[in-house]
Every structure is written in C-alpha cells, then in structure tokens.
C-alpha cells in the first residue's frame, strides 16, 4: 500500500507525522514530508488511522 498526500488539501495540521512516523515526518511548519510512500504490511493499521484522522481529508492510502 502507498500513502499519498493531496497537497491541494493539506493544511499542515501535523497530525499525520505523529500517527505514521514510519512514513511521514513534519517539517517546521507542520506540513508532512514523505519519507517513504510504501507502507509496510504491519503499519497499514497506522496508515488507516492517519487517513481517518486527517482533518483536511488530504491523505489517501492506495494500492500501487
């Protein structure tokens, strides 16, 4: 699975970097930095939680 950020929607709330630190980090303004878009099978539940928690509906989990 891949995690993707819709940059047209992201408001830099910074939640996703906290909820999915294996794949995302936050820059100094709270916007995500994609460290690795490939979500390991063991982290898919963390990725789903991050997608659900994003207040801007800016995160998507998709199959490559």
Catalog residues that contact ligand SF4 under the rule CB under 6 A: 5, 10-16, 30-32, 54, 56, 58-59
Tell me the closest approach of the beta carbon of residue 42 to ligand SF4, in angstroms: 21
Length of the chain: 64
Helix (H, G, I), strand (E, B) or coil at 34: strand
| Shorter beta-carbon distance to ligand SF4: residue 9 or 40 | 9
- Shortest CB 41 distance to ligand SF4, Å: 22
User: CA-CA distance, 31 to 24, in Å (whole number)?
Assistant: 10
Minimum CB distance to ligand SF4 smaller for 8 or for 41: 8
For residue 49, which of 7, 25, 17, 10 has the smallest C-alpha distance?
A: 17
């Amino acid at each position: 699975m891949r995690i993707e950020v819709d940059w047209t929607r992201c408001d830099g709330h910074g939640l996703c970097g906290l909820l999915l630190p294996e794949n995302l980090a936050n820059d100094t303004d709270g916007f995500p930095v994609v460290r690795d878009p490939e979500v390991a099978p063991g982290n898919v539940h963390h990725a789903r939680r991050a997608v659900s928690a994003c207040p801007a509906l800016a995160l998507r989990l998709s199959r490559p």
